[in-house]
Amino acid sequence: MLTERQFAWTMPVPDPFSYAETAAYLSRSPDECLYHIDESGIYKLIERCEGAVLAHIRPAPEGGLAIRILAADGPVDTQTKQAVELYLTEWFDMDTDLGPFYGLAAEDPLLKPLAERFRGLRNIGIPDLFEALCWGILGQQINLAFAYTLKKRFVETFGSEAVWEERSYRLFPKPERIAALDPRELTRLQITSRKAEYLIGTAQLIADGSLTKADLLEAESLDLAEKRLVGIRGIGPWTANYVLMRCLRHPAAFPIDDVGLHNAIKASLGTDAKPTVAEIRALAAGWKGWEAYATFYLWRSLY
């Protein structure tokens, strides 16, 4: 149960960082269920060892982000501040120097207008490995709107909830909870039986410690991390690169078969036909080491 708290501070941000572009990206779906965003800021339930805290995030007048803890399940102190800043740093990819990306984008006719339009937008991530894998699995071969619908059902059915001032805030389901399910409990949500099996199998790997974010981060190369992921039932190259990009933060991760990426390139080029994979590889020749950011900015151009 959340108890009212009052703990506020200003968090510095890297240059460039755009709160407006971050908020615009986070507002892309009305079915988002893991945070609330309006003109006053972002409301996010953040988990920590001592219990969850409800944080309010907005731009500070003097620069940076104004953070306020509204309520918490447990004590609020300097360790809370550190936990929240660590989460936001990872969520908003604040440790990445965007200078090299903007440098190459300035010389790339496809990326240049996007880099100028969305300057300060960072690769909004999914810090939790299980959440990233589930989002990748749920989104396979369906449109984004229905993927959000499935995620909302999944979170509201199996995740934990906290209520503050008559609004519900939720945490993503724990892998231990999903690992113990019968697939029929997921198919009732209109998740296909195959995806239900994939979700449960992935949850079991994480719950028993066979699959960890730390192990994937310690892989000697992007290829080895991708190989480890595609060895999991239900994880193909697209899902693996999505997770490598959004959770593990490999800058060269490249979900080249992504339909959204193809649509974004088609729209940016003003062509009638979607590009082939070979054509995308040719276009991406100058993106080396920054394929993930190029993809993210192209995705952003669709909304």
Q: Is the dihedral of CA 245, 258, 228, 32 positive or negative?
A: positive
Question: Considering 73, 93, 108, 258, which one is annotated as catalytic?
Answer: 258
Residue 190, sorted as left (phi over 0), alpha (psi -120 to 50) or beta, turns out to be left
Give, in order, the Cα–Cα distances in Å from 119 to each of 84, 128, 218, 238: 25, 26, 31, 26
Which tokens in the block code for residue 55? 């944080």
Using DSSP, how many helices (H) and how many strands (E) does the chain show? 15, 7
What is the number of alpha carbons within 13 Å of residue 32 lying toward its C-beta? 15
Give, in order, the Cα–Cα distances in Å from 203 to each of 25, 53, 81: 28, 25, 30
Q: C-alpha dihedral over 45, 47, 50, 51, to 10 degrees?
A: 50
With H, G, I as helix, E, B as strand and everything else as coil, classify residue 8.
strand
Instruction: Fill in the DSSP letter of residue 232.
Output: S
Size of the chain in residues: 303
Alpha helices in the chain (DSSP H): 19-26, 78-91, 99-105, 112-117, 129-138, 144-158, 175-179, 183-187, 193-207, 213-217, 222-230, 237-246, 259-269, 277-283, 291-300
Q: Name the residue among 130, 125, 232 with its Cα closest to residue 173.
A: 130
Alpha-carbon gap, residue 300 to 21, rounded angstroms: 10
Distance in angstroms between the alpha carbons of the first and the last residue of the chain: 36
Q: Is 258 a catalytic residue?
A: yes
CB atoms within 10 A of CB 115: 20
User: Which residues participate in catalysis according to the annotation?
Assistant: 258
